[in-house]
Amino acid sequence: MGIKVTKKLNTSTEIEVEFPTNDLQDAIRAAGVILDFDGKCGMCSGLDVTLQTRVTKEKGFKYTEYLCQTCGARRPWGQYRDGGGFFLKPWEEKYTGNGQQQE
């Protein structure tokens, strides 16, 4: 059992992810981070959104997020504490690297 999700990220990229489990509700919970994405940026409504994972140098923490190629906004994924999957956090404006969001 489980669930397989195919999602179009932008005009040229489509992903397919399988969430295998014996419980359909667990599969839907795990797939929610893909199912909840509507395909457009929450800041500029741009349609050129990609998926990326960054890894920190110090401790190797992984951060996965949707990234708008038009305005640089990000929509990070949060991870459930029980390890049962991910959820979407709100869109954030482009980070400029100086501790402030872009105006």
Mean pLDDT for the stretch of residues 86-97: 90
- pLDDT over 60 (residue 99): no
The domains of the chain are located at 3-88
Task: Write down the pLDDT at residue 100.
Answer: 54
**Spatial CB neighbours of 25, under 8 Å, sequence gap ≥ 6:** none
Residues 39-65: pLDDT tens digits?
A: 999 999 999 999 999 999 988 889 999
Query: Residue 24 CB: number of other CB atoms within 10 A?
Result: 11
Mean pLDDT for the stretch of residues 7-24: 90
